[in-house]
Amino acid sequence: MGIGTGVFLLAAGAILAFAVDYDISGLELSVVGWILMGAGALAILLFLTVWAPSRRVADRGVVEERRTYDDRPPTL
């Protein structure tokens, strides 16, 4: 689950909680929206605390040494 999934869950939950005015017997859509928003916030938080630091270490890569060239003729 990545950050995109968390944002999607937040958006879908906000739509259900605040914008949908439809009644289904036995199901409160605003509660479902709040649950989805909580799951989205938890997904984003987990991504930032667990998976993001390991990606930063892996992305560093190997630093190539800098090579310098001296075109001057050798002195005697």
* H-assigned helices in 1-76: 3-14, 29-46, 52-59
Mean pLDDT of 31-46: 95
Q: Indicate whether this model's pTM tops 0.85.
A: no
- Alpha-carbon gap, residue 47 to 52, rounded angstroms: 6
Domain ranges of the chain: 3-54
Mean of the per-residue pLDDT values for the chain?
84
Query: In this structure, are residues 16 and 32 in contact, taking their beta carbons and an 8 Å threshold?
Result: yes
**pLDDT above 80: residue 74:** no
Q: Quick count: other Cβ atoms within 10 Å of Cβ 19? A: 9
